[in-house]
Amino acid sequence: MAHQRQQTPVLQAHGVTKRFGVLVAVDHVDFQMAEHEVVAILGSNGAGKTTFFNLLTGMFAPDEGSIRYKGEDITRLSPAERVAKGLTRSFQLTSTFDTLRVIDNLVLAYYRSHCTTSIWSLLTTRTNSLHKESKILEAIETFDLQDIQSRFVRSLSLGEKRRLEIAMAILADPEVLLLDEPLAGLAESEIKGVMKVLRNQIGRQTILIVEHKISHIQDFAQRLVVMHEGRVIAEGGYEECLKHPEVRRSYWQIEATEDENA
């Protein structure tokens, strides 16, 4: 670990701040991820998690501070330019084509990032050779898509669609996978399916996941970052973060209340 920390972080934010009028949504946040690390950002509603995520992906430019990818300043790069460098976010940039089959969506995701072939020629090429690309076959297996590969995306359940979206994001071979609440709206059984496919990616990618509930990512994330009112209030392992007085006051209280209501 000590050796890993000395390496240039894969992703790094320094003093990043984003304001919406007088509201400071993200307030001087310092953050970094080492290669293949799995980090979760937690926090109650309005803590600034999505805004911070959007600063990392390039959806917003920060008012202050800088963002680096492998040491290179990417603060002013567009989302597409960041994706080209190896940062992939699910889901906005990997939206599915609902009128196509699952397999066609996988083919498009793969060839969009690996070939120069036009989308039109991909769609009109009716050879099975495209479907037999080993990376695509591997994705079908890894993400448990065997039984649904011939179905149209519009007929999938939310959980099945989420697995497809993550498969598509991963087919682009990103170095960093950024996921903002990939479990949102899913039933408990679907959450298990999505977490299973994400667990397969540990060690292959650097993964950042934004999540509301600590219990969902307890066995997944190696490090937690807890945000509250735009600031990082705690960082580290589970025990460490859960014991933190500020976390108990803000985040933990809210999760406990939600559990009581559930």
Contact between 254 and Mg ion by CB under 5 A: the answer reads no
Contact between 149 and Mg ion by CB under 5 A: the answer reads no
Contact between 59 and Mg ion by CB under 5 A: the answer reads no
Which of ligand ATP, Mg ion, none is residue 58 near (CB under 5 to 8 Å by kind)? none
Least Å distance, CB 51 to ligand ATP, is 3
- What 3 state SS string does the chain have? CHHHHHCCCCEEEEEEEEEECCEEEEEEEEEEECCCCEEEEECCCCCCHHHHHHHHHCCCCCCEEEEEECCEECCCCCHHHHHHHCEEEECHHHCCCCCCEHHHHHHHHHHHHHCCCCHHHHHHCCCHHHHHCHHHHHHHHHCCCHHHCCCEHHHCCHHHHHHHHHHHHHHCCCCEEEEECCCCCCCHHHHHHHHHHHHCCECCEEEEEECCCHHHHCCCCCEEEEEECCEEEEEECHHHHHHCHHHHHHHHHHHHHHHHHC
Least Å distance, CB 223 to Mg ion, is 19
Contact segment (CB under 6 A) with ligand ATP among 38-46, 68-76, 192-200, 213-221 equals: 38-46
Which of ligand ATP, Mg ion, none is residue 79 near (CB under 5 to 8 Å by kind)? none
Closer CB to Mg ion, residue 53 or residue 69?
53
Contacts with ligand ATP, 179-218, as mask; x by CB under 6 A:
---------------------------------x------
Contact between 62 and ligand ATP by CB under 6 A: the answer reads no
CA distance 169 to 238: 28
Of 6, 45, 127, 261, which lies in the binding site for ligand ATP, with binding defined by CB under 6 A?
A: 45
Walk across the sheet containing 176-180 and list its strands. 87-90, 176-180, 206-210, 38-42, 223-228, 231-236
Contact between 91 and Mg ion by CB under 5 A: the answer reads no
Closer CB to Mg ion, residue 103 or residue 194?
194
Least Å distance, CB 183 to ligand ATP, is 12
Contact segment (CB under 6 A) with ligand ATP among 47-55, 77-85, 97-105, 112-120 equals: 47-55
Which of Mg ion, ligand ATP, none is residue 9 near (CB under 5 to 8 Å by kind)? none
Residues contributing to the site for ligand ATP (CB under 6 A): 20, 23, 25, 43, 45-51, 212
